[in-house]
Amino acid sequence: MKPPAPPPPVSKPYFFYGHRKPSQNRPTVRGGLFSNRQTLNPKKLGRPTEEPFDLQKWDPDHKANQIPLHVKDPSERFFILAKNLSPIARYIVDAFRNHKYWTPELVADLNRLRRVTPKLVSEVLKFPDVDPRLSSKFFNWAGGFSAIESKQKGYRHDFACYNAFAYFLNRANHFRAADQVPELMHMQGKPPTEKQFEILIRMHADAKRGLRVHYVYEKMKKFGVKPRVFLYNRIMDALVKTNHVDLAMSVYNDFKADGLVEENMTYMILCKGLCKAGQMDEVFSLLDKMRKNLSKPDVFAYTAMIKVLISEDNLDGCLMVWEEMLKDRVDPDVMAYTTLVMALCKGNHVDKGYKLFKEMKERNYLIDRAVYGTLIEAYVVDERVGLACGLLKDLLESGYRADLAIYNSLIKGLCTAKKVDRAYKLFHMTVREDLQPDFDTVNPILVSYAESKRLKVFYEFLEQMQKLGLFSTEYLVKFFSGLVERVDGVVVALEVFEYLKMQKYITFPVYNILMEALYKSGEEKKALALFNELNELGMVLDSLTYSIAILCFVEVGDVKEACVWYNRMVEISSLPSLAAYSSLVKGLSKMGELDAAMLLIRDCLANVESGPLEFKYTLTIIHVCKSNDATKVIQVVNEMVEQSCPPNAITCAAIIYGMCKHGTMEEARKVFSIMKDSKYLSEADVIVYDEMLGDHMKKTTAGLLLSGIRFFGLESNLKAKGCSVLSS
C-alpha cells in the first residue's frame, strides 16, 4: 500500500502579492502592486497570461521593443521606473503620485508605515519621476523637521541620505540649495566630511559652474575640511576649464600652504590653465619645478599644452612649447607633429608647417592624409599652386587616394592662376576615381571659361557635365549668383547668358539674378529689357521679378508703370519686397500723389509682419498732426533721428498729408522751417515741399467741397450748369 501523498505546501502571501500578518511595526496592507488603492490601469497589473519568453524568438527590431520611454503613457512610465524599487519605496512614491501635493492625507498614508529607515529615504530621493517639492518635504518629514512631523522616534539621517538629497537637488536644478546641505548637516548634528563637498564640487564641475566650485571650496575651509590632492586637482581643473585661472592659482597657493606634494596631474592642470591665459613665463617656471620635484614632462603633456595654445590661436606660444620639448630631448610623436603642422597651416605659417612635415618624412612617420590636405590648402591660399601640386604627387606616391576636398582646393588654385586646362585634367581625375564632383569642383572651371570668353568650351563642358549626370539647374543658378558678385562679373554674366540663351540652357531664376545685378549696378533699363523679354515669353513671374521691375521703373522715373505692376501683383495675391514698397512710396511722394502713398504705406504695414520703421513713424506723424502743433511733430522727427531713421521724402509727405487733413498750412510751414534750421532739409527742399503743400491743400479742399455737394444732393443741379469742379 502506497503511503499517502504529502499535503501541498501552503503559500504564504506577502506584501507584494497579498496581505501578511500585522505586527507592532507593520500595518495591515492588502492586495495590489503598491497597496489597496485603485490604480490608473488595473488591467495592466494582472498576472501575464502570455507564453513564456523565448530568447530565440525575440526580435529587437520589433516595434514593441522600440517604444521610447517618453512616448508611453504616464502610468506605464511610472510602473516601469518603479519596478526596481523595494516594495515600501514603491508604496511611498505611489502615494506621491496619487496625492501630488503635500497634504495631511499624504502624511497620514506615510504614517501608516510607522517607521522608515535611512536606506529607504535614500531610495525614494533617488527616484527620478517625483515632484521635487514632495521629495524635499519627505526628507524633512522623515527627519522630524517638518511642520507635520513624523512619529518616528530616534531617527537620524545618515550620510547616504544627505548625499542622495544633494544629488536630488542638483538633478532638479536647485544647485544653490544643494550647496546648503553641509549647513543642514551641521545643524542636525552631522558634521560634513570631505565626501559631501566632493559631491558638490563634482556636480558643479560637470555643469561647468566654476565660481560655484570655488564657493564650495571656500565653504570647506570654513568647516575646517582639508581636501586631498585628488580633490585639489579637481577644483583647480574645474576653475581652469571655466577660465578662472587666477582663482586656480590661489587654490594652488593653499595647496602648498597645506604641505601637500604636487602630482604630475597638478602641474599639467596649472600649465594648461596658464597656457590658456597666455602666461608663458609662468608655464616654463612650473615646468622647471616639475623637473626638479618629479620628472620632466612627457610628449603627451607637451601635446596637451600645444592643443590648448592652438585653441587660443597662440601660435607663438605653440612654437615656444615645441622648442622647450626639444630642449628636454623629448621626441615628438605623430600626434604632436600633426597637431602643430595643421595649426601652422591654418595660421598662415605654411613654410614652418612644411618644415615640420619634412621632419616627419625623415623620421619615417606615417603621415595622415589630413596633413597633406591642410598643407595643400594652405599653399593654394598662399597662391603657390606648384608646391601644392607637388604635395598631391607625393600623396599619391605614398599610396593614398586624394579626397574631393583636396581636388577642389587644387582646381580652385589652378583656375585662380589661369591654368584652367590643368584644372580640367584634375576634374577628370575625380571622375575616374568615382569621387562624385560637386559644385565647388566645377564652378572655378566654369568661371575661368566665362572670364576668358571661351564660351564654346564653356558650353561643351556643360554638355559633358550633363552626360556625367552632374549638371543641374541649381548649379547654373549658383554659378550666375557667384559670377555677378565678381569684378566686372555682370558684363561677363550677360555674355554667358546671351550665349546659353541660344542653346536653350537658360532657366527662369537666372533672369531674376541678372535683373537684380543690373539694378544694383545702375543699369535699370537693361534690367527692364530682360523683364519685357520675360513677358514676351509668357512665363509666370514671381514676386521677386515684380519687385525688381517696380524698383527699376521707379528709378527711371516711370512711377505710373510701377503702380500698374504693383496692381498686377495684388491681383495675383502676391506681395512686393520691402525695398519695392519703400521705392514706390518715395516715387509717389515726390510726384505729389500723397493719398496713394499713404494708402500704400497702410497696405504694407497690414500685410508685412515687420514693416519699415519709417512707415511706422509716418502713421505716427499723421496722428500727431491732429494736434495742429508743430512742436509735437518735431519731437517725432527728432525721435526718428535717434532711432537711426533720418527724415526723407516720405516723412515730409506725411507732414503735408497730416497737416492738410487735420491741421493748417501755417503749422506745416513751421515744421519745415524748424527742420531747415536743424539741417534736416535744405533751402531748395523747403521750396519744393511748400509748393507741394499748396497743391495738396487745393486737392484736399476740392475733395471736401465735392463730398459736401454730393451729401446735399446738389450734384445734378451743378452738372446741368456745367460746373468745372464736377467735370474735373
The per-residue pLDDT for range 420-466, each reduced to its tens digit, is 999 999 999 999 988 889 999 999 999 999 999 999 999 999 999 88
Task: Bin 93: left if φ > 0, else alpha if -120 < ψ < 50, else beta.
Answer: alpha
At 44 the pLDDT is 46
| 342-389 confidence digits (pLDDT tens) | 999 999 899 999 999 999 999 999 899 999 999 999 999 999 999 999
| 261-296 confidence digits (pLDDT tens) | 989 999 999 999 999 988 999 999 999 999 888 888
What is the average pLDDT across 503-510? 81
What is the average pLDDT across 54-60? 51
What is the average pLDDT across 59-74? 49
- Cα torsion at 410, 411, 417, 418 (round to 10°)? 160
Amino acid letter for position 257: A
At 38 the pLDDT is 44
pLDDT, averaged across the chain: 83
Q: What is the distance of C-alpha 537 from the center of its chain?
A: 43
At 421 the pLDDT is 93
Percent of the chain residues past pLDDT 70, beyond the cut? 84
pLDDT of 8 > 80? The answer is no
Distance spanning both ends of the chain, measured CA to CA: 134
pTM confidence score:
0.71
Candidate from 117-126, 198-207, 343-352, 361-370 with smallest mean pLDDT: 117-126
At 727 the pLDDT is 45
Over its C-alpha atoms, the chain yields an Rg (Å, rounded) of 41
Q: Between 206 and 727, where is the model more confident? A: 206
Cell output for 293? 620635484
At 3 the pLDDT is 55
What is the average pLDDT across 635-663? 90
What is the average pLDDT across 472-476? 85
CB 403 within 8 A of CB 373: yes
d(CA 399, CA 404): 16
At 702 the pLDDT is 65
| 671-709 confidence digits (pLDDT tens) | 999 999 988 899 998 898 889 888 888 887 765 555 555
At 707 the pLDDT is 59
What is the DSSP code string of 122-180? HHHHT-SSS-HHHHHHHHHHHTT-SSS--S-SS----HHHHHHHHHHHHHTT-HHHHTT
